[in-house]
Structure 1
Amino acid sequence: MARPNEEVEALLQEYADLIAITGGEAFKARAYEKAARAIGGHPTDVSRLDAAGLREIPGVGRSIAEKVVEYFRTGRVETIEERRARIPNGVRRLMAIPTLGPKKALALYEDLRISSVDELADAIKAERLRDLKGFGEKTEANILHGIELMRQAGGRILLSAAMETAEDIVTTLSGIDGCEDCAYAGSLRRMKETVGDLDILVAAARSAPFMNALTELPATAEVLVHGPKKTSVRTSEGLQVDLRVVRPASWGAALQYFTGSKAHNIHTRTLAVRAGLKLSEYGLFETESGERVASRTEAEVYERLGLPWIPPTLREDRGEIEAGLRGELPAVVTEDDIRGDLHTHTDLTDGLAPLEDMVTAAAARGYAYYAVTDHAPDMSMQLMTDDKILAQRERVRELDGRHHRMRLLHGTELNIGPEGDVDWPDDFLRDFDLCVASVHSHFGLGRDAMTRRIVRACENPYVNVIGHPTTRLIGRRPGIDADFDEVFAVCARTGTALEINAQPDRLDLGDEDILRAKEYGVKFAVDTDAHSIPQLAHLRYGVGTAQRGWLTTDDVINTWPLRRLRSFLRKERAGRPA
């Protein structure tokens, strides 16, 4: 159940793509792309705005506002439907492939009559694309990788999209008479980066009101199973939702069981068997007598097995049970531990909100400090200049401490060039409070060159954080090829933090890389990379990923008091290792 803003964002972005495919004016396509981003990042529900209110959003003109109003009035936009009709279905199927742009998709259809993913894969294997203008071996390899990404993703969706749907359902079911508990479980509760389906649990004496309510939700497109113990539906966005209603006395056991993971559950059941017990979704029972000994809460079930309560994000059978038995389970970082966001953008570059609005929104989140890190000049499309960034710094200093005494840090997001160089010289970088450095281009460098590139950036005394280190976009772009073990070692040596970027399509570093980097002694920054006010709330996904990497507050620099953080940010400039 996407937010209305996100529905419109997707619609306008699709229209921009359709304009590009059909040979429309490039400036018009760009205008719709800009409006799509502006509406997607707007903090107000645009379905409640009239045309005049919509036109107050930067980048939204009269024609676009009218289309948005038409969409919410009728559920469709006539001009977009007409443009869709001009594009064969086969082309639109090909456009779904990551790495394949709309114009290439149209060329494949018109020149080779390719209209499906399987046909395209077969054509590449037969080397039929190489005679087409704009195609070659490298293009073929990129498309094949895009097909692989698509197939790997299958029916899985991003964590954030699943969370929105789950929370809507939980809110609805929690309001029904007789509900004693309601929660989502499964891979969503474990905060995995993608989710295949939703598991929803309810504790109640009667199941029928909840089963019926799920089938009657506006977002329910198809009922797959409707029964007293389990009901499954498919939403209009294609996500399967499985609802189970259990007796309140079994709530804890059911929540533990349906949260998983499968490997974690096998391990806990093995512990139970060794103790002469049987563990199921109904409770923990004595094997011989059948007496139930624990079930009402998860903590009760774990305690009877000789374990502390294990956070859901750790339940992947990656040593959490052994650590619990030894009394060494980490106190993982929580969202409440985060004292500030160290990577955000304003409308000075590619953000959607002015500096003052971003600062106000950050202060409302209760932060002790907050960093503004707009792009540096090597990202040429952002049109940054020395004068612009210095003027912003002056304004940041003026606002410092004005909002609930929140301290402001003036930073920048530097671009790591192919040789590891960054945008500004040392004498200019010296006056920033912090510098995030990220790879934004030349993703195809060889492994050795890419490793040298990142290592050189880490060794820069003014680079504090490596932003979205692997550059991956989940389901759309693979991470860069580099020797990250070498990178991790250099980060630990130089006092350079690695970012856990909380954007839902990044979550970069991912949990497995975090676990490896932690072994080297690396420190981390959990940042939103927010380009709009709503994106500040993405922090929860970064924290969930940090938890999956077993991180504590000692590992995460933006949980530290400002004085300790500033000491870390001085890096080696103070004449000693951080």
Structure 2
Amino acid sequence: MLMVSRAENQEAADRFWELALAMEIKGDRWRSSSYLKASSSIEELAEPLQIISERGELRRIEGVGESIAAKLNELLSTGRIEALEAVRDLLPEDLPIFRDAPVLGLGAIAELVSNLDVRSVDALLRALDEGVLSTNIRIGEDAERRIKEWLVWRREEAAEVPTPYALRSAERVLTCMQEGGIVSRIELSGPARRKVAAVANITLLFASPTPELAIAKFGTCPEITELTVVERDLAVGKTSSGAGCMLRQVTEQRFALENFRRTGPQAHVDEVLSALEARYGPLSAEEGPFSTEAEIYGAAGQELVPEEMRDRGRPYDGVVAKTDLLGDLRVRSILTDGSINVEMMAEAAASIGHSYICLCDRLGRRVDGETLARRNDMVDEADARSPVTLLKGIEVNIAPDGKLEAPPSLLEDMDLVIASVNTKLDMGEDGMRARILHALDDPCMDVLGHPCGRVLGLRERVIQDLRPIAERAAERKVALEINAHPDRQDLDDNDAYGLYELGAFYSLGTDSACPLKPQDWDWAVSMVRRAGLEPQRMLNVLPPHALQQREWRK
């Protein structure tokens, strides 16, 4: 009974905290302060609110006057507060993350929402990456650092660190370990080598005549924030990405085969080793004279399978190659602080080898029609001298009723329209499906953006069964996005692979901001290759004029 009463009191305290935040966002500081005081008082109660209400003593709670008492009675009798429901759209998505984040008080959250349009955890990650929080007087540099560390900890606890971030940690450790000539060989192994979406740990295998010195050096790597295990031939530590890192000694003779085994997946390893043993008998204790994985596959009578394709089994010639993809169909030219970067994006795209990029900025409070018109003017000016073609794109929200939250006149001026669910993420599976299915009937919609709605390690996917959506999208010739941003990776390779048979088209984009990085595009390419997709269903193989004329939809 005590646990139930505390839960009910906490529920009421949370609702009034939300009211306080909504009022702070509106700029009504007096009401915000009143609701916040009531929330704190309710949270500290030792007695159930229901019992206090039945005695008619709600107004004896500190900070509870006539108006707040009426709202408490409404909540106790109906389970909701209409005044809160009327302003709920002001509140950010992923509200528990904002509330739980260290140093983000009510005022700072309101500042993020009102002045920076940071209304979700993915927008918060963007703002942190761009460094705009450190320059805000209500947040600052130290708070920005602590929020970053807390989000890393959340992902560490969820054992779901986006692999691109883990690989950056691995690269820094590898660089450190290769200095000084202590190791004769060191390589990445494990699932991260296969470029799975997220990992809990990184595995590094090394060979060295002095393993104890290599283990000692591992502990001095700046990327290792904490050592948790140290043995003669093995060490484990934490990295700045949140992923654990295991360093394990392997002899030179066993190195290739051990790395092959640890890279996995197990079914693929078993298949190759069974073929090898069928030809040559059981492996010896030294596990064969293999210096490379190519020799292992050759001994098994098989073709070498790239690491990122081993989950799908055998490679085949029809899988899309990097050279098939002409450009990135989602990059962002407008940053959180409102600055627009068009020419810098074009120069970076050319250095990566793109023929074109599509600037797909999200329509919202800070990026309105006027801002997009200014961006498009800059695109027209830059396109004449740009080394790559610059396509004008837009991302618009799909409203709860399934309508696109943008006037058709704005969308008709764009070369590519991505529509995504970015608000009201708690509608439930059936409601979310109906919402997206309705949106797919809009002729202005070219691409369904990040269809699952997940943010790795921080938000679960908001829709589980994509098949009805993929079927409707195939009928309407609306492409499904493979958003390769490390935080999303949505669609992932399993979804993309499983939906291919339904006739789906795909649009690949890094969702990167300035400056574009080659490794982001490399990761995007690995995602479509892991999915085993063929080029004829990828929008990215089309030349710019074919995209502008929507030839895949005809």
User: TM-score normalised to the size of structure 2?
Assistant: 0.70
Structure 1 position 407, deviation (Å): 0.5
2:179 is equivalent to residue 195 of structure 1: no
**Structure 1 CA distance, aligned partners of 2:112 and 2:427?**
34
| Counterpart Cα distance in 1 of 2:512 and 2:108 | 31
Distance in 2, matches of 1:266 and 1:17, equals 45
Does 2:293 correspond to 1:298? yes
Q: Deviations over 1:126-185 (max 9, x none)?
A: xxxxxxxxxxxxxxxxxxxxxxxx89x644422132111101011122333265543211
Alpha-carbon distance between aligned partners in 2 of 1:38 and 1:477, rounded to the nearest angstrom: 15
Partners of 2:400 and 2:495 in 1: CA distance: 23
Matched, 1:255 2:237: no
Structure 1 residues 198 and 388, CA, compared in 2 at 3 Å: closer, same or farther? closer
Paired amino acid for 2:451: P
Note the C-alpha offset of 1:191.
1.2
- SS of 2:180's partner is coil
1:368 matched to 2:352? The reply is: no
> Following superposition of structure 1 onto structure 2, how do residues 44-123 of structure 1 map, counting pairs within 5 Å?
61=135, 68=141
Q: Compute the displacement of 1:264 (Å).
A: 2.4
Per-residue CA distance 1:422-442 (angstroms, 9 max, x = gap) = 133445433311111111112
Matched, 1:388 2:371: yes
Structure 1's 80 and 518: CA in aligned 2 closer, same or farther, altered over 3 A?
closer
Partner of 1:264: 268
Structure 2: runs of 5 or more not aligned: 1-96
CA distance in 2, matches of 1:482, 1:397: 40
**Residue 412 (1) aligns with residue 398 (2):** no
Question: Which residue does the alignment assign to 1:485?
Answer: 467
Q: 2:326 aligns with which of 327, 335, 339?
A: 339
**Alignment-derived partner of residue 473 in structure 1:** 455
Classify 1:478/1:61 alpha carbon distance in 2 versus 1 (closer, same or farther; 3 Å).
Answer: closer
Which letter does structure 2 place at the counterpart of 1:191? K
Deviation of 1:59 after TM superposition, in Å, equals 6.8
| 1:551 Cα offset (Å) | 2.1
Instruction: Report if aligned partners of 1:410, 1:433 keep a CA contact under 8 Å in 2.
Output: yes
Tell me if structure 2 keeps the 8 A contact 1:339–1:368.
Answer: yes
Alpha-carbon spacing, 1:63–1:27, altered in 2? closer, same or farther (3 Å)? closer
Cα 1:441–1:536 change in 2 (3 A) is farther
Going from structure 1 to structure 2, the CA distance change for 1:298 and 1:458 (only over 3 Å counts) comes to same
Q: Distance in 1 between matches of 2:361 and 2:227?
A: 45
SS in 2 for 1:506: coil
Deviates more, 1:410-419 or 1:356-365: 356-365
Provide the residue aligned with 2:346 in structure 1.
359
Q: 1:226 aligns with which of 223, 231, 244?
A: 231
**Structure 1 residue matching 2:282: 3-state secondary structure:** strand
The answer to whether the Cα contact below 8 Å between 2:152 and 2:242 also exists between their aligned partners in 1 is no
Summarize the alignment of residues 113-262 of structure 1 with structure 2, pairs less than 5 Å apart.
154-177=158-181, 179-218=183-222, 219-228=224-233, 230-235=234-239, 239-262=243-266
Matches of 1:281 and 1:550, distance apart in 2: 36
Aligned AA (1:398): E
- Amino acid aligned to 2:250: V
CA contact (8 A) 1:199 1:243 kept: yes
Pair 503,61 (structure 1): closer, same or farther in 2 beyond 3 Å? closer
Shift of the alpha carbon at 1:62?
8.9
- The equivalent of 1:451 in structure 2 is 433
Q: 2:523 aligns with which of 519, 541, 549?
A: 541
Task: Say if 1:425 and 1:449 are closer, same or farther in 2 by CA, change over 3 A.
Answer: same
SS of match in other structure, 2:426: coil
Unaligned 5+ segments in structure 1 are 1-12, 43-56, 72-76, 84-91, 99-149, 285-291
Distance 1:336 1:171 in 2: 29
Aligned residue type for 2:416: L
- The one-letter code matched in structure 2 to 1:254 is E
What is the one-letter code of the residue matched to 2:488? Answer: R
Following the alignment from structure 1 to structure 2, what is the Cα–Cα distance between the partners of residues 80 and 554? 44
Any conservation in 2 of the 1:176–1:209 contact (CA below 8 Å)?
A: no
Alignment CA distance shift 1:443-1:62 (3 Å) = closer
Q: 1:19 to 1:252 in 2, by over 3 A?
A: closer
| Identical-pair percentage | 25
The answer to whether the 8 Å contact 2:416/2:547 transfers is no
Highest Rg: 1 or 2? 2
Conserved 8 A contact 1:221-1:236 = no
- What's 1:313 paired with? 308
Specify the alignment match of 1:131 in structure 2.
Answer: none
**Counterpart selection for 2:532 from 542, 550, 554:** 550
Q: 1:355 to 1:451 in 2, by over 3 A?
A: same
1:508 Cα offset (Å): 0.4
- The offset of 1:340, in angstroms, is 1.5
The separation in 2 between residues aligned to 1:448 and 1:62, in whole angstroms, is: 40
